[in-house]
Chain A
Amino acid sequence: MKTLKRLKKMLTGDKEPEKSEAENSVGQSEPEVKTEEAAEGKQETAEKTHKTTESVTQQSKEPETEVQPAAETEKQEIIEEKSELKPETSKTETEKVETEELEEVAEKQNESKSDEPKTERSGNMTLLEGREKDTITRDDIDVNFKNDIMAAGAESVALCFQCGTCSGACPSGRRTPYKIRQLVRRAVMGLKEDVISDDTIWMCTTCYECQERCPRGIKIVDVVKAVRNEAAKAGYMAPSHKATGSFVLKTGHGVPINPATRELRKKIGLSELPPTTHEFPEALEEVQKITKITAFDKLIGYNWETGELE
């Protein structure tokens, strides 16, 4: 039974998101064999007739529909709700992806419930107990999130079919827990809070390696930036980033001049101050006014009187 659960998890990509990718790619053939062996073993002892992976999944779904018809209705509801929201983007491709994705959300909900009869039989909640937080429910989904990202210039995000090429190309993915494929997935699913509160979204260097290789031509870096904009709005901005922002408010430069460089400039015959906002205070005022209009000063919590961050 343990193997079946593992297989099911693998197929739906549910739980342990970090591992699922590696399992899918590396261990694809290996677990398959194991599952068959397990199923065969079972066949002998319990004299049941599952042979293939498919029949296994089917079987596990059977009781669920009987016991939990509510889950089915819930699934319908979500699909309706979401498709209402997106009549403008009537590309068939987009819609297809959307339906698939909704099914997956619903499936995940179903799946968590489908375990109930089993646990009743065995008498203890081994799978879900203590892991309620890992279960995705409708409460976790912000149906507008994907649309916000698309409106921010990353319309193409809806085309993602989760091939993982992006993660394979990502240099940050090689050295940090950052997984761009998952980020896109979770963003498209509308798991807003989950995504914007995730520290790893800031591990992207915007190097474009993912985007260059994306077979769907998705502007992945724009997705990352849109997600980060939402994170910044919600208050997830690092103090060091706010500080960089404050330099521009104070001087017009993200990296302002320092005494050593002033000297150096003079020494080699350049103007001591570059002919930028450093030399022209009225130009700096323009930049400052722009940041006030866009409320960037408030976004980073800049206090104009003290010149400090709050």
Chain B
Amino acid sequence: MAFAYFLGCIMNNRYPGIEKATRILMEKLGIELDDMEGASCCPAPGVFGSFDKTTWAAIAARNLTIAEDMGADVLTECNGCFGSLRDSNALLKEDEEFKGKINNILGEVGREFKGEVNVRHLAEVLYKDVGLDKLSEIVTKPLNLKVAVHYGCHFLKPSAEIDIDSPFKPTILDELVEVTGAKSVPYKEKMMCCGAGGGLRSRDLDVTLDYTKEKLENMTEAGVDAIVDICPFCHLQFDVGQKEVNEKYGTNFQLPVFHLAQLYGLAMGLDKDDLTMDAQQISADPVIKKLDVITGGE
């Protein structure tokens, strides 16, 4: 199995530990990740899609042509990138007229969208292509943690077009998390948005933080040790946004944030430095210490 690995922006340019953990995880699973050289921003669905559909689709299509040249399906581990690339791919495959318009633009940079590849999300590939059994084999350090799973919005929705799991009561991510030994704890408004998307974070931080505060309250109330997400933008919102919430509201939320890849990193026994946990705003040390006590340390 080989994929064209789409990095996007936030993961590689802010949280490289997610990228590092993914590369190690996939190597262990025997899945080849080939870099999409020269790829750009996806571009963000709610932001560029909101500004100008043609620009959004043209830049997305350019990224897709890189994967087409590689002859491999795209793999992303960001819900936003998944949304943009999957949406534009589907749209261009079914709308000949729009495809013609976009290809006229791409022709100017020597490219053509052909519609030859699919766009996949890491979590879906891990669940459907790899499977929980095989995943459990890579766990060398079971995680005795209670976590709040955050699905994010563009992984399962719109469900009329994405058939991964139920948009209301999904289990895919909970199952993926529980393979590590961690427990996914139910919490109020679990499926609610983190508040960052659609350009809202850059447009109106107050509203965005109001969302995040509600999520953090509900997660804290459920007594979790950490948050697990599958989208670097949600990740940033829960990490940087958590600090901003604390500053704005005088709260003291301390929920470390792990991308699924980082959680697997922990479960594979990777060093926390490789996961760049120390570069995050909310310290993961209490969680990592708790794990060390339980496993006896190393």
Contacts and interface: CB of A to CB of B under 8 A. Distances in A.
Nearest to A274: B12
**Most B CB within 10 A of own CB, among A237, A256, A287:** A287
B269 interface: no
Interface stretch (A9-17, A55-63, A184-192, A207-215): A207-215
Given A237-B51, A248-B59, A261-B14, A208 B202 contact: no
Given A171-B193, A264-B276, A270 B45 contact: no
**Most A CB within 10 A of own CB, among B17, B44, B45, B53:** B53
B17 A268 contact: yes
B62 A229 contact: no
A209 B157 CA distance: 8
B31 interface: no
B142 interface: no
Given A254-B44, A294-B58, A219 B203 contact: no
A268 B274 contact: yes
Interface stretch (A44-52, A114-122, A130-138, A275-283): A275-283
A33 interface: no
A175 B214 CA distance: 11
Given A205-B153, A256-B13, A241 B47 contact: yes
B26 interface: no
A282 B46 CA distance: 27
A282 B58 CA distance: 17
B197 to A, nearest CB: 4
Interface stretch (B126-134, B174-182, B204-212): B204-212
A240 B46 CA distance: 14
A206 B45 contact: yes
A265 interface: yes
A294 B153 contact: no
Contact of B13 (A225, A226, A253, A287): A253
Contacts of A267: 273
B115 interface: no
Nearest to B95: A153
A270 to B, nearest CB: 6
Interface stretch (B32-40, B245-253, B284-292): B32-40
A243 B158 CA distance: 28
Nearest to A289: B109
Contact of A290 (B38, B55, B167, B195): B55
Contacts of B273: 267-268
B167 A172 contact: no
B105 interface: yes
Given A205-B198, A205-B211, A254-B9, A279 B37 contact: yes
A170 to B, nearest CB: 10
Contacts of B198: 202, 204-207
A89 interface: no
A267 to B, nearest CB: 8
A296 B58 CA distance: 11
Contacts of B160: 217
B192 interface: yes
Contacts of A212: 157-159, 167-168
Contact of B58 (A172, A204, A290): A290
**Most B CB within 10 A of own CB, among A207, A209, A240, A260:** A207
A202 B7 contact: no
Interface string A267-310: 11110001111111011101101110110100110000000000
A268 B50 contact: no
A275 B35 contact: yes
B158 A208 contact: yes
Given A207-B197, A232-B50, A244-B47, A268 B276 contact: yes
B196 interface: yes
Q: Which 6 A-B pairs have the closest CB atoms?
A: A283-B38, A208-B157, A207-B193, A252-B40, A206-B46, A206-B198
Given A254-B9, A274-B13, 10 more contacts: A205-B196, A205-B197, A238-B202, A244-B47, A245-B51, A248-B43, A255-B9, A276-B7, A276-B37, A299-B52
